[in-house]
Structure 1
Amino acid sequence: MKERILTGVIAGALFLLVLWYGSWAFTLLAMLIAAIIFTEFMFMKNIRAQELPSMLGILSVLFLVNHDLMDPMNISPLLSVTAVLLLIYSFISHNRFHVDHVAYTFFAVFYTGYGFGLLVNMRHESLLLILFVLILIWATDSGAYFIGKKMGKNKLAPSISPNKTIEGSLGGIIVALVVAFLFQQWVEFDILHSSIMIYIVALIVAVFGQMGDLAESALKRYLDVKDSGKILPGHGGLLDRFDSLLFVLPALHIIGVI
């Protein structure tokens, strides 16, 4: 437990420091984290980092993170080329890298690169907005954990994550809404233009953040792995720490917040 807390404090402090600085430093950090998470995806599928599809995937992820995703013309050609090259490699490898691997790798590229590209875009737009989203995610996780532990009786998704409960999930949403209310009272926060929008964002973050956590749990169960990686002592992999955020950011992009 001490190792988990120490790792969390140090990693969290470093992330927030670079987040506050922003600019090129945050872009580089986002690219590094995205590349590591992509390799974790490959690790879970038993695809080695030194194989050609992994190296191609990392390059595609780095390109996505470092480009303006608000313009579809920045990503469509890249994704098309990535898909074609992966398919070419599948028959060059005599189907050792088969269509299932192609689809999985393409998904990992898009999911990781697009998510962290949106994160960089949001940081360029507003430090306060990204802090608001991160605080909501942490509040939801904490609320779901403690309320679920205290009051949880009905399982939320027992076949995917046996410890999560409906009561905990609802508790996480309520805590996120309370945090949004406090944020609105204490911080001069006019980025979202209206009080209603602040609560809509809080609700989306709380719901989609939990869905992201469940989605990763489902993936790990399907692939029969406990953690996405071992880079964070006591925490597992980086994907285990960013799974909620990667689900939240596309949802916020769809409604026009990013």
Structure 2
Amino acid sequence: MKQRIVTGFIAGAAYLAFLFIGSFPFSIFAAAIAVIAFMELTAMKKIPFFSPGVLAGALAVAVNVLSAPFIEGPGFIQFVIRLLIVLILCLLCIVVFSRNQFQVEEASYIFLSVFYISLPFSLLVHLRLESLVTVLFVQITIWATDSGAYFAGRILGRHKLAPHISPKKTIEGSVGAVLTALAAVLIFQAVVRSPVFSSWGMLLAAAFVISILGQMGDLAESAIKRFFGVKDSGTLLPGHGGLLDRFDSLIFVLPILYLMGMIR
């Protein structure tokens, strides 16, 4: 527990520091996190680190996130589509010339991993450029959800939420997560004063949706880890696992917020 708290404090402080700095330094920081998370995904499938396909995927992730500050509006999605087209063509060329050392299954996995990782982190950069308050609202809601689920689950957990995916998660923990998130955003709104939404009802509704989606993102990553038979996505953060373990909720939430029109 002590190791988990210390690691969480240091990592959280570094993340918040770059978040407050914003601009291109935050884009570089977000790109670094995204590339490492992508590498953790490919490591789960045991694709060699220096495989041409993995390197091409890592480059695509970095380019996608780093370009986010320079592309606005509809042009952003058009750029992502073009980048993915180039990536899939490169991956298929690697399949052709690798003499079966790099197969279509691995190419497909890398392509999906690039999309799964790079789009949310690009949206995170866009959201930071639009509003520091909004990105803090989203992040605090997710952190409160994680903390509420952990402590409510340990204290009150009795009924399993999804035992076939994550045996330790409970219904009580899930409910506690939502309630903690709602309480956290009320405190956050009272502190920052600048309204995140037009009404308290909208604020709580958004927090509720983000909390539920964040838990879905956590379960989605748990399903991936269970499929590959690993406990954590990595070992970079002692007591927490890998970066993918820490950003799984945000990865799931941000594309949904984009579809809802909260991110442009």
CA distance in 2, matches of 1:218, 1:79: 25
Shift of 1:97: 2.1
Q: Is the 8 A contact 1:89 1:97 kept in 2?
A: yes
Using the TM superposition, give the Cα deviation of residue 202 of structure 1 relative to its aligned residue in structure 2, in angstroms. 0.3
Q: Which residue of 2 aligns with 1:65?
A: 65
Instruction: Please show how residues 24-173 of structure 1 align to structure 2 within 5 Å.
Output: 24-66=24-66, 67=68, 68=71, 70=73, 71=75, 72-173=77-178
Q: For structure 1, which segment, 57-66 or 191-200, has the greater mean C-alpha deviation from structure 2 after superposition?
A: 191-200
Deviates more, 1:105-114 or 1:88-97: 88-97
Gaps of at least 5 residues in structure 2 are: none
CA RMSD in angstroms, aligned pairs only: 1.5
CA separation in 2, counterparts of 1:32 and 1:23?
Answer: 15
Q: Distance in 2 between matches of 1:227 and 1:29?
A: 22
1:79 positional shift = 0.5
Scaled by the length of structure 2, the TM-score of the pair is 0.92
Deviations 1:74-103 (A, max 9, x none): 111110111111122123223332222112
> Offset at 1:172?
0.8
Counterpart selection for 1:251 from 250, 256, 259: 256
For the 8 Å contact 1:64–1:75, the answer to whether it is kept is yes
Does 1:238 pair with 2:243? yes
Give the TM-score taking structure 1 as reference length: 0.95
Once residues 43 and 193 of structure 2 are traced to their aligned partners in structure 1, the CA distance between those partners, rounded to angstroms, is 44
Runs of 5+ consecutive residues of structure 1 not aligned to the other structure: none
- Residues 154-177 of structure 1: CA deviation (Å, up to 9, x unaligned): 100001110101111111112212
C-alpha distance in 2 between matches for 1:95 and 1:203: 47
Q: Distance in 2 between matches of 1:124 and 1:115?
A: 14
Match of 1:201 in 2: 206
Residue 164 of structure 1 aligns to a residue whose secondary structure is: strand
Q: How many residue pairs align between the two structures?
A: 258
**Structure 1 residue 69: deviation in Å?**
6.5
- Residues 192 and 257, structure 1, Cα contact 8 Å, conserved in 2: no
